[in-house]
Amino acid sequence: MPRNRLNKRIHLGLAALALLALAVVVDAFWVEPYRLQVQEVAVAIEGLPPALAGLRIAQISDTHIVGANRLTRRVQDELHRLDPDLIVITGDLIEHVAAYNLWAERAAEVGEFLRGLPTPRYGTWITRGNTDISRYGGHSDLLIRQMASSEATLLINERVSLDIGGSTLVLAGVDFAHLPEGFSADHVVVEREGNRVVAAPPCTGNAFTHYVAGPGWPAEGYEFTGRLSYTDAAGGIGLVLDSRYPWGEDHYQRLRAHREAPEWQVASKGVEVMAGTAGAGLEPQPGLWYRFRVRYQRQGELARLQARLWPQDGPEPVGWPIDVGTREGQPSPFDRQGVPGFWSVGPGWKYWDDLQIAALDGAVLWAEDFESAAPADDPLGWLDFGVNQGQLQIALEGAPEDAVTILLAHSPDIISEVSGMKVDLALSGHTHGGQVRLPILGPLYINTTLGRRYNQGLFRFADSWLYVNRGVGTRGLPIRFLCPPELTIISLEQKR
């Protein structure tokens, strides 16, 4: 072959490759991310009541909203056109950002998006994903208030029962609980100086655990007593009362020791300190056990927090070295009572023990010394922020066994925790379907511990179905390739 003809073919081949690469880039950046695909999926459920046969559930996930655009408007338009019986949104509505003003703008955009959705007969239900939960104070409040401004209902480790034609459909939603290891703390029972106590390991972020299985605390207030200790002055330890943190609000009364403070002090969130003494005048000493007695009284938007702490080998002080009056910040959009719990941060281990809550008249309402718990167990009735697998038990406890149960959870990894529980169908997202899928190689982005094949589609796990939605938006680079955004219509069918 003449040399000039060979060169011409090489040049033509290179030009074709360049055009192909350009076409792929154009598709990945400007075409496919906006090519919403309506995916219709039938799920056969054994024992499905006739009234639920044909029920149409619309699922969207991972919108990562940053301003209104043609994709979010298309989602709204398609949902109006499809007219489903109910809508579920499985997390990551917002694109996370640290700056408060930017977060506020994006939260408002989420609210606008939700208010533009249709109002199906059986409601719109949301569960939070990792980008919906912020470590920065007040951010999460903004988002859940925007959710509350719409017709949608946020489910955080709870369930509802829907009456559909005389049959019950249980819809449960759990918060994202797969934060990076070491960011929050998994509170467990350990042996410490001959006793079993609750312990929190070192963590880089604010760690919380709350007692959410309580009988309900008196509206007028209560006394919280016990003891606590920590091992490293660079860390922090404390108590929270009337906390709405388990339901997404950055609201709690808190008594703490912290490296930035020279004394045990009140450091609450979501409330305004009106008057009083917020410091105990007692310098925290790592390695010592301290007894505490905290009296919390509330009347409407006003509250009074009184506390005393002392080394456990010493006498209990007289009076209340800490005595502050507080006023509510923004009212809660939810009708939920706050709960007691623990807070910690930073290096070193933290310990709590001999807990008791009593009414203001002295009647004991609840007591726990953890002696009946096995070492390394999660304490019963307590819910950790971001890491606790006990959220499923809390959400599903008491659900009727004969009802069809659908679980909303942002991460598909939740399916590995439902063994032995009554979950007919779990709906999730988080994986983005890989976002970029290459021929033969498959997805580049996995984001699930279940394995590469489980990043999109319908799967069977023992007695439960799992559907993994590809999501609407993107994270990282705003691209999709061979993985278009998805709106799913799930139809329930009777198993033949």
- Tell whether 239 and 271 lie within a shared domain: yes
Residue 69 forms part of a structural domain: yes
In this structure, of 98-112, 191-205, 267-281, 446-460, the range with the lowest mean pLDDT score is 267-281
Average pLDDT over residues 215-227: 93
- Tell whether 398 and 359 lie within a shared domain: no
* 280 Cβ neighbours under 8 A, 6+ residues apart: 263, 264, 265, 307, 308, 309, 321, 322
- Tell whether 143 and 259 lie within a shared domain: no
Residue with token string 């679980």 = 407
What is the distance between the alpha carbons of residues 168 and 171, in angstroms, rounded to a whole number?
10
- Tell whether 169 and 286 lie within a shared domain: no
Q: Which pLDDT band, with edges at 50, 70 and 90, does 273 fall under? A: confident
Residue 25 forms part of a structural domain: no
Residue 474 forms part of a structural domain: yes
Residue 448 forms part of a structural domain: yes
* Tens digits of residue pLDDT in 48-61: 999 999 999 999 99
Please give the pLDDT value at position 150. Answer: 95
Residue 233 forms part of a structural domain: yes
Nearest by Cα to 149 from 101, 106, 115: 115
- Tell whether 317 and 403 lie within a shared domain: no
Asked which of 363, 383, 403 is the last residue of a domain, the reply is: 383
- Tell whether 193 and 171 lie within a shared domain: no
Please give the pLDDT value at position 28. Answer: 56
Average pLDDT over residues 422-428: 97
pTM as predicted:
0.90
Q: What is the CATH number of the domain that holds 408?
A: 3.60.21.10
- Tell whether 208 and 170 lie within a shared domain: no
- Tell whether 230 and 105 lie within a shared domain: no
- Tell whether 63 and 164 lie within a shared domain: yes
Give the number of domains in the chain. Answer: 2
- Tell whether 355 and 470 lie within a shared domain: no
Residue 29 forms part of a structural domain: no
In this structure, of 28-42, 233-247, 316-330, 347-361, the range with the lowest mean pLDDT score is 28-42
Please give the pLDDT value at position 6. Answer: 59
Residue 481 forms part of a structural domain: yes
Q: Between 183 and 293, whose confidence is greater?
A: 293
- Tell whether 209 and 261 lie within a shared domain: yes
User: Which range marks the domain in which residue 408 is found?
Assistant: 35-177+391-494
Asked which of 355, 383, 411 is the last residue of a domain, the reply is: 383
Asked which of 331, 354, 383 is the last residue of a domain, the reply is: 383
Three-state DSSP class for 307?
Answer: strand
Residue with token string 């369930």 = 159
- Tell whether 360 and 258 lie within a shared domain: yes
Q: What is the CATH number of the domain that holds 246?
A: 2.60.120.560
* Tens digits of residue pLDDT in 232-255: 999 999 999 999 888 888 889 999
Per-residue CA distances from 270 to 140, 340, 341, 417 (Å): 12, 15, 16, 34
Nearest by Cα to 206 from 5, 416, 386: 386
Residue 1 forms part of a structural domain: no
Which range of 40-44, 474-478, 480-484 scores highest in mean pLDDT? It is 40-44
- 14: pLDDT strictly greater than 90: no
